[in-house]
Amino acid sequence: MLRKFLVSLVLMALVVAGGLGVAAYLIRTKPPPVRKANPIRPLRVAVHRVIPKTVQETVVGYGTARPDEAATISAQVSGKIVEVARGLEDGSSITQGQLLIHIEEDDYRHQLERARNLIKADQATLEQIKLEGDNLRRLVSSAEQEVRIAQDEYTRVSRLFEKNVAAKREFDLIRASVLRVTREQDTLRTQLAVLGPRTEQTLASMAAHKAEVELAQLSLDRCRITAPFDGRVKRRLVEIGETIGPGRPVMTVLKLDRIEVPIELPASGAGKVEIGSGCALSVESMPAVRWPGRVERLGPAADERSRTFTAYVVVDNAKQRAPLLPGLFVRAEVAGPVHTDVLVVPRGAIRDGVVFVAVDGVARRRPVTLAATLKDTAVVSNGIRADDTVIVTNLAGLRDEMQVEIEEQGRELANSRGEAGTASRPGAGVQ
């Protein structure tokens, strides 16, 4: 038994040794592998062919539309509202001079009538003073004649009395007569003089009553509240039968023919935006609608925190198919300088001031200088020439002198809303 086991073990060892020997022989006699050279494949890229063109810069900003004119109409007198214009509700159209609110007028009519009657009384007093003055002047004239006669008689009697021709009683009587007519003359003159202050007092009273008439008439006119301009009612605040007082707001109205939008623009565009510059306004929720406007004035200073300045854009809302509503937050594209016959490349093709140009299947590195940047493109002042093919894809793995294969030739830049298009497009604002 043991002998069989040993024989089996020896045979197994011989088989393993034989296998190892064959394997070693095969390894030693294996021919070396043939190395094949892999060709370097060029990088596939898309290019943009540079063509001289005219483009216009745009300065983009944002702002909130507001009406050029808005008014909160308030009552100027006290009283009960007796009438509201028919159909006058929030959103209603109004025309200048249209009656909006009617306040009860009775109290002010009575005040007006009373003041007019007081003026008539003052006029009657003045007429009476005039008659009294005419009469007093006649009496004063007669008294002056009586005084002269009495003085002449007093002189004659005095001479006779000095010659002992006239009696003392006659002398005393004539002297008393002179004193009496003189006192009467003085009294009449005093009465005539008093008429002057009475006249002034009556004239002052008349002026005060005329002022009362004007005030009562003004209050009466203010009982009828009318529209200050053509526009729309934003909100009506009162109802018929309500009693209101001076200063109480009755409604808010807006004039929508002309809309003003204060646009906050980056300070870098301060030298590019001028008064009269065209502008196109849009709202994100209404991409199909654009409103043309123009810059009417510019803010005098930039905001030191936001680094922006304000351009006030005006839109002629009466000419719009879809009016620009106050309160809308809008995006503004303000027309800037026009660049004529310049070379434009996609902004994404520029990396650290360098572009790659495809020349005979090889990428050439070209440092460039930017003259202006638009939304998706840039104006290059030097570093490239017309008809160069600027590489616009696979820039991350691109190196100078690398072989490239152009997959798309003659690619044009998109003129999207005038951001890199013709000179007239940015301000066109076509709806």
Q: How many CB atoms lie under 10 A from the CB of residue 331? A: 15
Domain ranges of the chain: 53-65+256-411, 77-104+223-247, 107-219
Query: What pLDDT, in 10s, does the model give residues 402-419?
Result: 998 888 554 444 333 333
Q: Which residues sit opposite 99 in a β-bridge?
A: 226
Decide if pLDDT at 130 tops 60.
Answer: yes
Q: What is the pTM of this model?
A: 0.62
- The answer to whether 406 touches 45, Cβ cutoff 8 Å, is yes
Residue 403: DSSP 8-state: B
Indicate the pLDDT class of residue 68, thresholds 50, 70 and 90: confident
Containing 221, the helix (H) or strand (E) segment is helix 168-222
Report the pLDDT value the prediction gives residue 36, as an integer from 0 to 100.
Answer: 53
Q: Rounded to an integer, what distance in angstroms lies between the CA atom of residue 258 and that of residue 278? A: 16
The angle, 0 to 180 degrees and rounded to 10, between the axes of the packed helices 168-222 and 106-162 is 170
Decide if pLDDT at 67 tops 50.
Answer: yes
Query: What pLDDT, in 10s, does the model give residues 306-336?
Result: 999 999 999 999 888 889 999 999 999 999 9
Strands 243-244 and 79-84: antiparallel
What would the two tokens of residue 83 be? 């009438």
Helix, strand, coil % in the chain, rounded to nearest 5:
35, 35, 30
Q: Which residues contact 309 (CB under 8 A, 6 or more apart)?
A: 264, 265, 267, 270, 298, 299, 301, 302, 303
- Considering only CA atoms, which of 426, 418, 414, 279 is closest in space to residue 347? 414
Query: What pLDDT, in 10s, does the model give residues 30-61?
Result: 666 655 555 668 888 889 899 998 888 889 99
Please state which of the ranges 92-96, 117-121, 154-158, 190-194 shows the lowest mean pLDDT: 154-158
Report the pLDDT value the prediction gives residue 244, as an integer from 0 to 100.
Answer: 95
CATH architecture for segment(s) 107-219: Orthogonal Bundle (1.10)
Residue 5: DSSP 8-state: H
Domain 53-65+256-411 has CATH 2.40.50.100: no
Q: Which residues sit opposite 116 in a β-bridge?
A: none
Q: Rounded to an integer, what distance in angstroms lies between the CA atom of residue 408 and that of residue 391? A: 10
Residue holding tokens 């001031």? 353
- Please state, rounded to an integer, the average pLDDT across all residues of the chain: 86
Q: Which residues sit opposite 283 in a β-bridge?
A: 286
Q: What percent of the chain has pLDDT over 70?
A: 86
Decide if pLDDT at 7 tops 90.
Answer: no
Domain 77-104+223-247 has CATH 3.90.870.40: no
Strands 404-411 and 43-49: parallel
Indicate the pLDDT class of residue 429, thresholds 50, 70 and 90: very low
- The answer to whether 392 touches 356, Cβ cutoff 8 Å, is no
Q: How many CB atoms lie under 10 A from the CB of residue 92? A: 17
- The answer to whether 102 touches 220, Cβ cutoff 8 Å, is no
